[in-house]
Structure 1
Amino acid sequence: MGQVTVRVNGYSHPVSCEDGQEQHLLQLAAEVEIKVGKVKAMGGQFGEARLLLLAALLLADDVHDLRVDVERARAGQPPLPRPAADAGLADRLSRIAERIEGIAQTLEHP
């Protein structure tokens, strides 16, 4: 089994992977680091968990958009136009994160 150390937001994390997948895992970590950088560029004070949550939400949004594009391509339709940058994205992500944190708190303290 392979193992690499990925670096995200200044922290090193050893991660195991299948032999031969080390470079792929490093590329995935680089994508996460890009999203972390985008969240940081939005401004605001974020703890590590919130920062990673917002980065994960950005990645999930990318995956969603790609799935929609694939479904549309299979149906013979063009991809949906997407704005280059969403000015309200930071606010929307922050509100989503707050809602998730609220739900997590109610689950921890019934």
Structure 2
Amino acid sequence: MGQVTVRVGGYSHPVSCEDGQEAHLVTLAGEVDRRVASVKTMGAQYGESRLLLLAALLLADEVHDLKVELAQARAGIIPPQSRVPVDPRLAETLSRVAERIEGIASNLEKS
């Protein structure tokens, strides 16, 4: 059984894990620490347990959003932010730029 000490919100926490999972656990603790830091930037002074609770709620909210996105993707539903109309003139300009880049790349390959 592996063990690491992670630092979250300025507090050290010894945590056990499966052997070989130590680096992964440190990465996860880093994610929690980033959420704790974002809560701290709000200016209020919270104790350790409150900070960890708020960080957990932020992470739970992110997980919820990802689950909704995944379910929509599996159902073939396009999220609203993906439905942004494309300006046909911009699409045409980008297409011409892409063709020019391909032509330049082709000429470089011949050289």
The question of a shared fold, defined as TM-score above 0.5 by the shorter chain, is answered with: yes
Q: When the two structures are aligned, how many residues end up with a matched partner?
A: 81
Partners of 1:69 and 1:80 within 8 A in 2: no
Inter-CA distance 69–29: structure 2 relative to 1 (3 Å threshold):
same
CA–CA distance in structure 1, aligned partners of residues 3 and 80 of structure 2: 39
Q: 1:18 to 1:53 in 2, by over 3 A?
A: same
The 5-angstrom pairing of residues 51-70 of structure 1 reads: 51-70=51-70
Secondary structure at the counterpart of residue 42 of structure 1: coil
SS in structure 1 at match of 2:31: helix
Whole-Å separation in 2 of the counterparts to 1:14 and 1:77:
43
More helix by share: 2
If you compute each CA radius of gyration, which structure gives the higher value, 1 or 2? 2
Task: Tell whether the 8 Å contact from 1:5 to 1:15 is kept in structure 2 after alignment.
Answer: yes
Structure 1 consecutive aligned stretches of length 4 or more whose deviation exceeds 6 Å: none
CA distance in 2, matches of 1:32, 1:22: 15
Taking only the aligned residue pairs, the percentage that are identical comes to: 70
Who is 2:75 aligned against? 75
Counterpart of 1:43 in structure 2 is 43
Which residue in the other structure is 1:21 paired with?
21
| Structure 2: runs of 5+ lacking an equivalent | 82-111
Q: Find the residue that maps to 2:19 and give its secondary structure.
A: coil
Q: Secondary structure, in 3 states, of the residue corresponding to 1:3?
A: strand
